[in-house]
Amino acid sequence: MPIEFPASYWKDYQLLDSGNGEKLERFGKYVLRRPEPKALWTPSMSEADWKRLLHVTFKPGAGFGKAGKEDSGTWERSKKMEDQWSIIYNGEADPETHAASDLHLNLRLGLTSFKHVGVFPEQAPNWEFIYKETGRLSRIHQANGLPAPKVLNLFAYTGAASLAAKCAGADVTHLDSVRQVVTWARENMERSGLDGIRWVVEDALKFAKREAKRGNKYDGIILDPPAYGHGPDGEKWKLDELLFGLLQNVAEILSPRDAFMVLNLYSNGYSAALGETVVKEAFKGNFKDMTSGELAFNDSYGKVLPLSIYVRLKR
């Protein structure tokens, strides 16, 4: 299975060091210390060096590690910093012509009551795939006098993947169950000089089932489901129990040709092989190409930290 690493053009993020169940990261001008269960080794830098660089540390709360409360805790500052700041992601230049990419994202970050800050930097290879695949579909649609390709982003969080599709000319529907997160995504859209995204606050599975019943189709579908979650009306989401059913609905609403799907999974214990199998079974072989692998970062000392697995499908 391939391992993909965000390339050196990701200037505003750097994994400085990792180990002892933690990671030391630079987001723009600030350095953060956060838990990372997969960092099973010893850090390369000394504790004194970590502390010297640090602006803020995430301190896990009493519920840390429990289902539905895995990431709860507080932040402890060691240097003065803002509660909110922004970083820039500029996409990969064309490897053949070296022409600059039109993928430009301005993402607002913030210290939330969870260990997340508003972006998952290792997702950059998925953003690139979404941008390039949507661009390919946009050219096909334009050549055939068709409307812009429709892309649905489920569990869409603060919207970097939605913005990647929008940059490439898609008609984007962005869905998340948390209204505040959708508001955050809208701000990222405006910061990035984009507009016209459709915002939906709803349970992802309920929405997908309704779209299937209505016969609606999308040319691209993006899924990044959590291990546990809740819909806006208290609907319970548990990945192990509901992922396969959701993917079956996604298979129904994905256009039968000239379409793509991206599935990303963070849940510990899920492998790329498992992800590929569950997608194959849900789609019943009705696709022309599938790739799967891991997304990871090298820290400054060359230690590879795997962070999620992906499955990408084309019809």
Give the model's pLDDT for residue 62.
66
Report the distance separating Cα 160 and Cα 108, nearest Å: 10
Predicted local distance difference test score (pLDDT) of residue 66 = 54
Q: Between 9 and 219, name the one with better pLDDT.
A: 219
CATH for 88: 3.40.50.150
Q: How confident is the model at residue 70 (pLDDT cuts 50, 70, 90)?
A: low
pLDDT of residue 67 exceeding 60: no
Given a cut of 70, whether residue 73 has pLDDT beyond it is: yes
Indicate the pLDDT class of residue 99, thresholds 50, 70 and 90. Answer: confident
Greater confidence (98 vs 3) lies with 3
Question: Is 174:182 a contact under the CB 8 Å cutoff?
Answer: yes
Residue 196, C-beta contacts closer than 8 angstroms, at least 6 positions apart: 166, 171, 172
pLDDT tier for residue 71 given thresholds of 50, 70 and 90 = low
pLDDT band at 36 (very low <50, low <70, confident <90, very high): very high
**50-64, 186-200, 235-249, range with the lowest pLDDT:** 50-64
Q: What is the pLDDT of residue 227?
A: 86
**For residue 287, pLDDT beyond 90:** yes
Q: Which of 59-63, 90-94, 225-229, 295-299 is predicted with the least confidence, judged by mean pLDDT?
A: 59-63
244 closest CA partner among 214, 218, 223, 268 = 223
Percentage of the chain with pLDDT > 70?
97
What pLDDT was estimated at residue 63? 57
Mean pLDDT, residues 188-211:
97
Per-residue confidence (pLDDT) for residue 269, from 0 to 100:
80
- Number of separate domains in the chain: 1
pLDDT at site 69? 52
pLDDT category at 9 given cuts 50, 70, 90 is confident
Average pLDDT over residues 120-134: 97
pTM for the predicted model, two decimal places? 0.94
| Residues of the domain holding 190 | 3-314
Tell me the C-alpha distance between 268 and 71, whole Å.
14
Query: Residues 136-146: what's their mean pLDDT?
Result: 97
Rounded to the nearest angstrom, the gap between the alpha carbon of residue 293 and the centroid of all alpha carbons in its chain is: 15
In this prediction, residue 61 has a pLDDT band, given cuts at 50, 70 and 90, of confident
Q: Return mean pLDDT, the chain.
A: 93
Per-residue pLDDT band at 113 (split at 50, 70, 90): confident
Confidence of residue 293 (pLDDT cuts 50, 70, 90): very high
Whether the predicted pLDDT of 65 surpasses 80: no
CA neighbours closer than 13 Å in the CB half-sphere of residue 167: 28
Bridge partners (DSSP) of residue 2 are: none
C-beta of residue 225 within 8 angstroms of C-beta of residue 243: yes
